[in-house]
Amino acid sequence: MSGTRYRAEPRAFVVGRCGVTKGLLVAGTTSDAGKSLVTAGLCRWLARQGVGVAPFKAQNMSNNSMVCADGSEIGRAQWVQAVASRVVPEAAMNPVLLKPGSDLRSHVVLMGRSWGALDAGEWATGRKVLAETAYEAFRELSSRFDVVIAEGAGSPAEINLRQGDFVNMGLARAVDLPVVVVGDIDRGGVLAAMFGTLGLLDDADQSHIRGWIVNKFRGNLSLLEPGLRMLEERTSRPVLGTIPFLYDVWLDGEDALAISGWSGGSSAGTPGDSALGSTLAVAVVRFPRVSNATDVDALAAEPGVDVRVTADPDVVARADLVVLPGTRATLADLEWLRSRGLGEAVLSRAAAGRPVLGICGGYQMLAEYIDDPDRVESSSAQTVAGLGLLPTKVRFEVEKHLGRPTGQWRGNTVSAYLIHHGVATRTLEGAGAEPFLDGWRSGSVWGTTWHGAFEDDGFRRAFLTEVAAQAGVRWRADPGAPGFAARRESMLDRLADAVEEHLDTRALASIIGVDL
């Protein structure tokens, strides 16, 4: 064998279907093993073969979400997987979305709409209706698409949660899906994790496990192959392939701010030294309850823009642009901002005419005050002083505002999406402010509730050019650089290429139940 290709010997294993449903559940040995990426890669691979494929995740816990064309809200990862499938994203692809508001309480979005909130102790009674809705959504998708590729959550071997599970083996059993398990070899211990995953499952669950996929491999494959052969012998299931570590491939993720595939800076440079060169240094504040952090991905993808995620006031002070991103807990995260000295750092920047951008919850923090009369975020009705940098007041409303607005800024068309409870309105002190999308700009301080706006290439580059001028930085946009949507498409195709090159696609097609 050459490169990082490892395919099982088909004669040694039975890899056929469990039942009649044409589909697959992609489970993982751990969270962040690569389930979302593998699912996206399989969806794009099948779509390129002319198969009508849809993604699915029964239950997703994430504060990174997206608004579909019909106004429904789903997890951002499933939205991207729909893009990979070349189909229109819809609520049935992620029927249950949990948005953590605290360590013990989550807001529930059911079939794209707000359903209520559940405390940790309420899951036993609350799961039944969620599970039934998820199963019905899967069956409905299956009736309209040739294949449904489902993504699991966490690990199927979390046997303490098995009784109420409807996203891993519970789903596989309910709709008769075969399962492949992805393991991240970059973490170490992947063979033990795969063997242990199988060993912890009961016989009925084990019967759905059809094979293994090793993810994020780098190095000499010949050193790994003996272990893969032993894993096959001891589990009686094939290793379906070894996907290499794909550098510069990232997709809109579920987890907050290890934003996509980048986690440090997106280009060379150190925050604060950009005035000496052409790098624009951006500091993104890492809120404890950050939400829709994917807004920053487009900034990080821009050549010459160095994005750092931080909770350090000194980094905030030195950066050319500071971004206060969205949050699921505006009031709590505003208090945290102040307690860490970050609030004072933001105020000092604004006083010095240095750029600050607030998006959604971050925009609300820039207001003069925030009012929560209906206890949407608070345990009691209260009014809290904001940072007072924009001439607005914010009032939290019980009804969530969802939408797909469009607009213009500096001659650039902007498309975005809305997900918020807080409504900002202008105060009398706003005579010197100018409109910015649906929000305001006052001096060097900018704010909007629009998520996703920076994915529009012309708008993003115009905004960053103006910010660079405010910051005294010589950064200029590269008009020849790929656009953000084009980069996403390229990455999805690279994932599909990896599936075709490094996985046993013949065995996968047999497991899924398609004839290619």
Q: Can you give the residue ranges of every domain in the chain?
A: 10-251, 274-481
* Torsion of the alpha carbons at 134, 137, 141 and 142, rounded to the nearest 10: 60
Distance in angstroms (rounded) separating the CA atoms of residues 509 and 178: 12
pLDDT tens per residue across span 306-347: 999 999 999 999 999 999 999 989 999 999 999 999 999 999
- For residue 252, the model assigns a pLDDT of 64
Instruction: Report how far apart, in Å, the C-alpha atoms of 48 and of each of 42, 471, 496 are.
Output: 10, 45, 9
What pTM was computed for the model?
A: 0.87
Residue 439 DSSP label = E
**Residue 340: CB partners within 8 Å, gap ≥ 6?**
311, 313
Average the pLDDT over each of 16-20, 84-88, 403-407 and give the range with the smallest value. Answer: 16-20
CB atoms inside a 10 Å sphere around CB 17: 16
- Residue 270 pLDDT more than 60? no
Report the 10 Å Cβ neighbour count for 49: 14
Residue 497's contacts (CB-CB under 8 Å, 6 or more residues apart) are none
Phi, psi of 442 (to 5 degrees): -130, 105
Instruction: Give the right CATH number for 10-251 from 1.10.730.10, 3.40.50.300, 3.40.50.150, 1.20.1250.20.
Output: 3.40.50.300
The answer to whether 138 and 175 have CB atoms below 8 angstroms apart is: yes
Q: Give the per-residue pLDDT at 11.
A: 37
The DSSP secondary-structure symbol of 417 reads B
Phi–psi pair at 73, nearest 5 degrees: -110, 130
pLDDT tops 80 at residue 463: yes
Please give the mean pLDDT across all residues of the chain: 88
CB 329 within 8 A of CB 289: yes
CB 46 within 8 A of CB 270: no
Residues belonging to the active site: 360, 451
156, 312, 341, 357, 431 from 427: Cα distances, Å: 52, 32, 27, 19, 9
Q: Which of 284, 277, 456, 279 is nearest to 356 (CA)?
A: 284
Query: Would you state the structure tokens that stand for residue 243, as one six-digit string?
Result: 């996907």
- Look at residues 178, 182, 188, 236 and name the one whose alpha carbon lies nearest to residue 214: 182
In whole angstroms, what is the distance from residue 119 CA to residue 102 CA? 9
Q: Are 440 and 433 in contact (CB under 8 A)?
A: yes
How many angstroms separate the CA atoms of 384 and 369, rounded?
Answer: 6
Whether the CB-CB separation of 89 and 68 falls below 8 Å is answered with yes
pLDDT, one tens digit per residue, over 193-252 is: 999 999 999 999 999 999 999 999 998 999 999 999 999 999 999 999 999 999 878 776
Interatomic CA distance for residues 271 and 277, integer angstroms: 11
Burial class of 41 by CB neighbour count within 10 A (0 to 12, 13 to 18, 19+): buried
Q: Cα 321 to chain center, whole Å?
A: 23
Q: Is the pLDDT of residue 401 over 80?
A: yes
The hierarchical CATH code for the domain 274-481 is 3.40.50.880
**307 Rama class: left (phi>0) / alpha (psi -120 to 50) / beta:** beta
Q: What is the sign of the dihedral through the CA atoms of 186, 187, 191 and 194?
A: negative
292, pLDDT greater than 90: no
Say if CB 152 and CB 162 are below 8 A apart: no
State how far the alpha carbon of 350 is from the alpha carbons of 38, 173, 354, 437, 513, in Å: 43, 56, 6, 20, 59
Which has the higher per-residue pLDDT, 310 or 257? 310
Q: Read off the pLDDT band of 430 (50, 70, 90).
A: low
Examine domains 10-251 and 274-481 and report if their fold is the same: yes
Q: Give the C-alpha separation, 25 to 229, whole Å.
A: 23
Q: Of 3-12, 275-284, 308-317, 416-425, give the lowest mean pLDDT range.
A: 3-12
Helices (H) and strands (E) in the chain, counts: 15, 27
